[in-house]
Structure 1
Amino acid sequence: MVNHVKGKVLSLLSVPAILLGLMSVVPAATEAADTPQTLTNVAGSDDYAKPGLQPEFQTVPKKYRNDIPVQILGINDLHGGLSTTGDVGIGQKTYKGAGTAARLASYLDQAQNQFKAVANSNNTFRVEAGDMVGAAPANSSLLAHESTMHALKEMRFQIGTLGNHEFDRGLPEFNRILNGNAPTASTNASQLVKDYPHYSTNMQLIVANVVNQSNGQIPFGYKPYTIKTVKAGNEKAKVGFIGIDTSTLPSLTLYDNYKDYKVLDEAETIAKYDKILNNKGVKAVVVMAHTGVATSPQGQTTGPVVDILNKLNSIDPSNHVGLYVAGHSHQYANAKIGKTHVVQAVYTGKAYDDVWTYVSPKSGKFVSVAPHVYPVLSQADDPTVSGNPNVAAVVKDADNRVDPQVNQVIGKAATPETITGRLHNNSTMENAAGEVVVDGQLYEANKHGVQADFAMTNTGGVRADLEVNENADITWGAATAVQPFGNILQVVKMTGKQIEDALNQQYDQNQQYYLQIAGLKYTYTDSGDANQPFKVVSMTKDDGTPITPDGTYNVVINDFLHGGGDDFTAFKDTAIQGSIGTDTDTFVNYIKDMTAAGTPVQAPQLDRKVYQGN
């Protein structure tokens, strides 16, 4: 009965810096109302698994042989995925078991070598569009993500920009690992982090629209753009790169992590720096932006990037942005929006962008942009390729350092089967791992004497399936992969009306943000309102007792939601009744407690949200 609900979901999207992660749908940009024009929107084509098979990459077309070849190799949303693998959809095809940083490095090397051989050019730039770190497995997170930065250094990434997850531990901490400084006493670093080697990534960080609240200056001396000179024979030209973060940052991270900064409008900032670059003689511009976009298998491209480019071309029709390397929404994209090509290489190192461009030495403009997205094929699909040994060494060293803690068995599952998470939502946007998480939060709150009726979490904070070993063991690493952030859990007092408002807020942005719930059930139905197509009809406790609008209840939420994160304003500033520690520790303790009680963890029935047709 609810297939029409599920049909609204494009895919999953990453967002909150300490908590959010993949959403169900790419959000609409807030400035859409200010974009009077609609640019042409044409999907690109990605039919080949490797650039070596791409017909247009076999030779330099005759009409461009007097121009300067330039290659852009891009990634986005690595999220510390040093060893992460999974299926990846690109165009009409799905590739199984894609990923790992070492194999990504090898494919980037292959792509660059092919470009050099065919185009006789060294004009290759490796760029990154935000969320290098954060929401990551233990071989990154336990080492303060320095292992990921070391891997990026070995992959020779030259230019990067900020995403929301670079703010997870505060921007000063990200700046520390970017530059390879040792942790200070105030960071309370673990011995693992203190013992890890600290050295600079040698990546130039550019961001144009993040400024200090105090003085309007870009923090830490980061630059808004960089200019690179490209050459072919005796000819030269300039290519400009502008870095952009998402303006939705305040809803994606904790207040303390963004309060010192202001994020400016994306389109207006691009227009400003495009003109500055133009005045410096730069007529070929690449934007690297942590803003979401998706191209569906049907060839439809949607998301904030489309709205940003519409607005950009409305206020600056003569802009020179030829390529937009996107991130944040964890989806595949290849499209031409107006005159600008847009790509996004999914996430966690499962894919990469390979874009061949040609710049006229006379006009300085892009005369051709040929963008493609390719998978990082598994060893099974491409046994001829081995992982880059330098990156593999970084990963192996990280594994060796964290393995004693990661492999510690903390409990048992009822069956030796993985308990699946947000990649396996049912039609009402429930998933088993998410509901185990909130079940645990509710149980642990009451166990520690902080009386709670319900628990709720934004599903972006539930980052992974709960992996279960073949003997039904659950390890510390498996548990913390599900809840990696260490957000503080608070018990807050809410009225039934506030709870209803929070549940309804799941439906005001096409379920871009949604909740996992414990201790209550509710029914919802069609509202007839296009802006919020569904509404809550009734709510009850698990035992069937109605939840009344003027009744008061204690609800476990994380501090991200308490600040109104993911636009759940119903939780904001509710009265705190107590705290129960971090979400990570709470989940680990719940698995231990269930095992000790002889009730091993099992996947719950997904029946807490019930759609009721009119």
Structure 2
Amino acid sequence: MIKPTLALLTSALLLSACTTTTTNTTTPKTPDPVNITILGLNDFHGNLEPTSFTKVGDTAAIKAGGVAAIASEVNDAKLKNPNTILVGGGDLIGASPATSSLLRDEPSVVALNKIGMQISALGNHEFDQGLKELFRMQNGGCDSNDAAKACKFDPTFDGAKFKWIGANVEYNASSGKTGTPFAPYIIQDIGGAKIAFIGAVTKSVTGLVSPDGIKDLNFLDEAASINKYIPEIKAKNVDAIIMLIHEGGEISKDSKDTYATVGCKTLDASSPIVAIAKKVDPAVSAIISGHSHQGYNCLVPDPTGKDRIVIQGDFYGHLLQTLNLTVDKANHKPLSVSAANLVVDYTARETNKTLNADMLALVDKAKAKTDAVKAVPVANLGVPQIQRGISNARNTESALGDVIADAQVFATLAQGTQISLMNPGGIRQDLPDTGQIKAGNAINFGDVYAVQPFGNTLVVIDMTGQQIKDVLEQQWMNENATAVKLLQVSEGFSYKYTDSAPAGSKINIADIMFGGKPIDPAAKYRVAINSFLATGGDFFSVFTKGTNKVELPNLVDVDALNVYLKAKGSTLDGKVKGRITKL
């Protein structure tokens, strides 16, 4: 087992009890302590195989994550402490590499079943294919909205053995149903102790997935929804409450804290998870988070001002969040909790031959069913790799973002396209991933698919110059204010923005250029976007006001990129083109 390099932090000793005893005496019972290990996996995104990761203090990347290494880490933890449970922080599926997504993420669900996942918060990507398909992933069966992929990994797919939970997901009035489609919390018996896990997903789901797939649902305030169920949970004499939430933040940019820093207090104050954590009932002992694809192990004050652990484990299974929890099951109260992030070092386990054999076999089975498609040659790039941004940042222009925007123009010239805009969250991998760089800078369809796995189609609309300015301003407005998403733009189009200016006024329309000239607010421009943005995805609602709309249901974004790379791949230099300028 690869051990954390830093000592675990004890965030609280003799924590306040989650509940009082139900006897008529105030005399405490003889303590009966139980030590529990909680492992958390967030933002796995169906990454059955490892991807590149650089450990703190190293310069060379290793392979990290992958179900064969994750399974071995979980097994090692259980050998050390039988009272170990694996839980999820959401986005276990969705936006997945081809090995999983070409099989509708069923291999990932089966793998997590076998590894021992017990409970997970819902993530926004669990809703990518709609509520009905998510029910199928939970309950099994082959009645899918993509019959070409469903039950091809296992013809008797019987769904997740673990349970997705979400206290803030409710049916809306138009659905004709009431209540919650998923349990808000689950109480788990671990070593005789009763540990409650309560879940929530970011309330921003409505802007992150196709509206049609979630039309029957409301996504409510996260903290208020959690707090609503705390009295009910406490009444059941649980010994501790742990929160699983698919919402996160990031460490302040001027801090040197990393995933390995224990007890950091540098989570950016604007991070959504900070505001949520400060409101969540103090009875919650620790918060396992996700969504922002960051590694941190921080402390955030609860409503009483007492520090509480808020932890996240990067993404793709690179890290396992580890909580060491001691509870007194006689008096129904937590005694202590400490936390660390554990690197899942696939490279070391591969060298030491300690990868889980059953998981290696499962991955081989999934690859055998998808390798023929993935291995189809596409092109030889002009450079070994085109990156999607430093640390996968979404608030900067990236070389790969430039390429994708150019590809979308190239694919829709027949529809009169002049400009293309691309959401950075739809770019899921470097091209290729560091671990997949090949001789001669060759790339195959699997590499391309890993970049854009959502299956969005392309749409072309007319937008006025003013509408283009308005949609660019939305990069810093409303929900995007705390997690800026800079739309990537195509060749011939550029703009400048003033970061210090107030939201809604960061861009002077005279600084938006097309064809070497400022855009005309009244003129119409032909703009290509993906179908996700066309419905107002990522809170870019101005796109829904476009006119003369042409939908291209047979032109998938990944296919457009594939064609462009075949035509232009050898000429691409992997450089950021400077189309977006921060003043």
For the criterion TM > 0.5, the same-fold answer is yes
1:463 matched to 2:437? The reply is no
- The equivalent of 2:467 in structure 1 is 498
3-state DSSP class of the match of 1:301?
A: coil
Choose which of 326, 334, 340 in structure 1 pairs with 2:297: 334
1:386 matched to 2:386? The reply is no
Counterpart residue type for residue 110 of structure 1:
D
Instruction: Provide the C-alpha distance between the structure 1 equivalents of 2:338 and 2:70, rounded to a whole number of angstroms.
Output: 21
Choose which of 559, 562, 566 in structure 2 pairs with 1:588: 562
Taking structure 1 as reference, are residues 533 and 65 closer, same or farther at Cα in structure 2, changes over 3 Å only?
farther
- The equivalent of 2:401 in structure 1 is 434
What is the 5 A alignment of 1:58-97? Answer: 66-88=32-54, 96-97=62-63
Instruction: Provide the C-alpha distance between the structure 1 equivalents of 2:483 and 2:504, rounded to a whole number of angstroms.
Output: 9
Choose which of 388, 407, 410 in structure 2 pairs with 1:443: 410
- The equivalent of 2:582 in structure 1 is 611
Instruction: Provide the C-alpha distance between the structure 2 equivalents of 1:125 and 1:175, rounded to a whole number of angstroms.
Output: 24
Taking structure 1 as reference, are residues 242 and 93 closer, same or farther at Cα in structure 2, changes over 3 Å only?
farther
What is the 5 A alignment of 1:198-597? Answer: 198-213=157-172, 214-215=175-176, 217-218=178-179, 220=181, 222-231=182-191, 236-295=192-251, 297-298=256-257, 299=264, 300-302=266-268, 303-313=271-281, 319-338=282-301, 339=306, 340-380=308-348, 383-384=351-352, 386-410=354-378, 412-423=379-390, 429-446=396-413, 449-467=414-432, 469-508=438-477, 509=481, 512-526=484-498, 528-531=500-503, 534-536=506-508, 538-539=510-511, 543-580=515-552, 581-594=555-568
Q: Alpha-carbon deviation of 1:282?
A: 2.2
- The equivalent of 1:98 in structure 2 is 64
Q: Alpha-carbon deviation of 1:253?
A: 0.6
* CA offsets 1:246-301 (integer angstroms, 9 cap, x no match): 11110111111221111121111111111111122225111111111334534302
Contact 2:395–2:485 under 8 Å retained in 1:
no
Instruction: Provide the C-alpha distance between the structure 2 equivalents of 1:284 and 1:406, rounded to a whole number of angstroms.
Output: 46
- The equivalent of 2:141 in structure 1 is 181
3-state DSSP class of the match of 2:189?
A: strand
- The equivalent of 1:168 in structure 2 is 128
Q: Alpha-carbon deviation of 1:532?
A: 6.3
Instruction: Provide the C-alpha distance between the structure 2 equivalents of 1:87 and 1:555, rounded to a whole number of angstroms.
Output: 36
Counterpart residue type for residue 418 of structure 1:
Q
Which region of structure 1 is more displaced relative to structure 2, 191-200 or 366-375? Answer: 191-200
Q: Alpha-carbon deviation of 1:384?
A: 3.3
Q: Alpha-carbon deviation of 1:177?
A: 2.5
Instruction: Provide the C-alpha distance between the structure 1 equivalents of 2:93 and 2:210, rounded to a whole number of angstroms.
Output: 16
Taking structure 1 as reference, are residues 125 and 378 closer, same or farther at Cα in structure 2, changes over 3 Å only?
closer
Contact 2:87–2:119 under 8 Å retained in 1:
yes
Contact 2:394–2:425 under 8 Å retained in 1:
no
Q: How many residues align?
A: 539
- Structure 2 unaligned residues grouped into runs of 5+: 16-29, 258-263
Contact 1:147–1:394 under 8 Å retained in 2:
yes
Contact 1:424–1:431 under 8 Å retained in 2:
no
Q: Alpha-carbon deviation of 1:65?
A: 8.2
Instruction: Provide the C-alpha distance between the structure 2 equivalents of 1:195 and 1:330, rounded to a whole number of angstroms.
Output: 30
- Percent identity between matched residues is 30
Contact 1:283–1:320 under 8 Å retained in 2:
no
Contact 1:291–1:304 under 8 Å retained in 2:
yes
Taking structure 1 as reference, are residues 337 and 86 closer, same or farther at Cα in structure 2, changes over 3 Å only?
same
Counterpart residue type for residue 592 of structure 1:
K
* CA offsets 1:557-592 (integer angstroms, 9 cap, x no match): 112212222222222232243123221222222223
Contact 2:313–2:341 under 8 Å retained in 1:
yes
* CA offsets 1:83-121 (integer angstroms, 9 cap, x no match): 131225669999733222211111121122222xxxxxx
Which region of structure 1 is more displaced relative to structure 2, 563-572 or 123-132? Answer: 563-572
Instruction: Provide the C-alpha distance between the structure 2 equivalents of 1:70 and 1:426, rounded to a whole number of angstroms.
Output: 35
- TM-score when normalising by structure 2: 0.85
Contact 1:422–1:459 under 8 Å retained in 2:
no
Contact 2:167–2:180 under 8 Å retained in 1:
no
Counterpart residue type for residue 320 of structure 1:
A
Taking structure 1 as reference, are residues 287 and 195 closer, same or farther at Cα in structure 2, changes over 3 Å only?
closer
Q: 4+ residue runs of structure 1 moved beyond 6 angstroms?
A: 61-65, 90-95, 424-428
Q: Alpha-carbon deviation of 1:192?
A: 7.5
Counterpart residue type for residue 165 of structure 1:
H
Q: Alpha-carbon deviation of 1:307?
A: 0.6
3-state DSSP class of the match of 2:332?
A: coil
Instruction: Provide the C-alpha distance between the structure 2 equivalents of 1:166 and 1:368, rounded to a whole number of angstroms.
Output: 33
Q: Alpha-carbon deviation of 1:69?
A: 1.4
Instruction: Provide the C-alpha distance between the structure 2 equivalents of 1:600 and 1:93, rounded to a whole number of angstroms.
Output: 29
3-state DSSP class of the match of 1:172?
A: helix
